Structure 1
């Protein structure tokens, strides 16, 4: 049977595939752009024309061959990740052509997606499709649910210039934190964190021992850690933790952005954890399916009021997706890194 022809849909589209497992710095040779037939949705699927997609640090790790708690990318096959697009065909009738939706199949111009993996954005009050790819839901959930930020808390956020961290400083302040400290990789970024994104002080990697800098920034210790980095920054935070501190762990950038992409174990002092009653909790958005809707309401209100901003870089064209991920791993941007397709 010949494919169904839908007006306005081309016969071919482009997708980005993994050309080779990633070892060392990412280059164009790790990717290939293939031109392939636009998929025809099967029963229970919708066809989506992607408009914007996100790249994240976890994708660098997924390009390696190491064992992960998530699926790894497969050489010769298309990558995937969060994307927002418009439904162009919905044979099952569960969605309407033209409807804006979120789904997990970026890195391609068109995607045939199972209806169960598509979330309608028709009722979500955000000003642009790109705003739906903010990592603020992770920051919001980690700070509110896992770390339970309280009025007056001193909060330390590692990786403060990333997609999560650039929202987390603002949200810690929104939740009542008394002092917010963030770590980043350069003084240029640190200045922007302090001027624009809710941070009172900063710790800069390479400007001296992290623990010494953190003690200067938080002389009375910290109550909360939102950790996206791990490594030395996690051990430094434990060293300056106050009694009953709450740590929310959401990422491991120290290994994800390293040359090998390998998981890097962290040695923590159990005596400090016990003596100071430090609570360490991992947080993942997948365990909180209702949180994105709650976050979208909060985010939309903050954007309309001007009390929240969405820092992001936007590269244009699917051919820029490999560059976007490479630049993210090099720390070139502040906030989320997105690609307009």
Structure 2
């Protein structure tokens, strides 16, 4: 494979991105240099945080450049190598997503352990997605034995794993929100949630209040907006919130109003902390050992929504932003 099909950003989206903000190009690959590898991607990740990278704004990660191929998590196998450390056939994890073939210095590709797990799992439950859930619950929210936990966006990539990890860490009750009746059933029947609700059925505040007569102790936030406001109503004294994402606001073009109940932070001694998974990489060895065991024994399960064809990566991303996925959204180039 001497060429690569790649997706580039051609203009900064205003509001909800559209296909016209992107283009698909075919790039001829040069011959491999010393200690370089060429990798055929088997799965490419599309994630909510990528929406922020499409804006030209300061954040924890550099924005995508215009007229440049976008980047992101991917897994694949080495198909050509001039590296002694990554021979042909090696399974690798790397940051050259949004393309079907990646090429670069060997040190930019990490060999994956032989665990028996599918390669795709290292982009989801056994990868950054799972570590995000683990770090947010264990360290940021300091989940304790017996805590009642509420997770928003619970059928998404992080949420579907977070509910199961919360149980592993000792939560007495786990509740979640999702955007359809089918997803609500999935939360309770497959992911082990005690209660779940469809946030489209009625105001989140109303539904969460009805399900939590004794309040909640931990909130894991993937959504922001009305979900955060509802959680602030229900957090008990000393409650903790791990703020992972705010997907409900990523396409907003104006200022988003804040919650009307922030005074609860004072009156109930609440702790709200935003976090980035990259700040907690020291937990990776501990997480990898535990998650590999949980996945292997089947006590944690995961789902993937897979879209075939790198040329359909933009559609996969847009669908994910609308909540069309269950579990991790992936593109199979």
- TM-score under structure 1 length normalisation: 0.89
Q: C-alpha offsets along residues 203-224 of structure 1, whole Å, 9 cap, x if unaligned?
A: 3223222112111111101000
Matched, 1:163 2:157: yes
- Residue 139 of structure 1 corresponds to 133
Q: After TM superposition, list the pairs within 5 Å mapping 1:36-185 onto structure 2.
A: 36-43=27-34, 45-121=36-112, 123-134=113-124, 135-185=129-179
Moved more, 208-217 or 292-301: 292-301
- Residue 246 of structure 1 corresponds to 240
Q: C-alpha offsets along residues 268-294 of structure 1, whole Å, 9 cap, x if unaligned?
A: 645311221212222221112243343
CA–CA separation in structure 2 for the residues paired with 1:39 and 1:266: 50
Q: What is the CA-CA distance between 1:81 and the residue it aligns to?
A: 0.6
8 Å CA contact retained: 1:38, 1:110: no
8 Å CA contact retained: 2:4, 2:102: no
CA–CA separation in structure 2 for the residues paired with 1:265 and 1:136: 30
Change (3 A) 1:214 1:143: same
CA–CA separation in structure 1 for the residues paired with 2:247 and 2:114: 30
8 Å CA contact retained: 1:156, 1:182: yes
Moved more, 175-184 or 71-80: 71-80
Question: Match for 2:249 among 255, 264, 267?
Answer: 255
Moved more, 288-297 or 46-55: 288-297
Q: What is the CA-CA distance between 1:117 and the residue it aligns to?
A: 3.4
Change (3 A) 1:248 1:124: farther
CA–CA separation in structure 2 for the residues paired with 1:217 and 1:251: 23
Q: After TM superposition, list the pairs within 5 Å mapping 1:204-283 onto structure 2.
A: 204-256=198-250, 258=251, 260=253, 264=256, 266-267=258-259, 269-283=261-275
CA–CA separation in structure 2 for the residues paired with 1:281 and 1:335: 24
Question: Match for 2:14 among 9, 23, 28?
Answer: 23
- Residue 280 of structure 2 corresponds to 288
CA–CA separation in structure 1 for the residues paired with 2:308 and 2:196: 32
CA–CA separation in structure 2 for the residues paired with 1:212 and 1:74: 43
8 Å CA contact retained: 1:19, 1:31: yes
Change (3 A) 1:113 1:147: farther
Change (3 A) 1:246 1:12: same
How big is the alpha-carbon RMSD for the aligned residues of Structure 1 and Structure 2?
Answer: 2.1
CA–CA separation in structure 1 for the residues paired with 2:256 and 2:327: 24
- TM-score under structure 2 length normalisation: 0.91
8 Å CA contact retained: 2:228, 2:259: no
List alignment gaps of at least 5 residues for structure 2. Answer: none
CA–CA separation in structure 1 for the residues paired with 2:144 and 2:34: 48
Change (3 A) 1:95 1:34: same
3-state SS in 1 of match to 2:68: coil
8 Å CA contact retained: 1:18, 1:31: yes
Question: Match for 2:184 among 190, 197, 204?
Answer: 190
Q: Tell me how many residue pairs correspond in the alignment.
A: 329
CA–CA separation in structure 2 for the residues paired with 1:211 and 1:173: 24
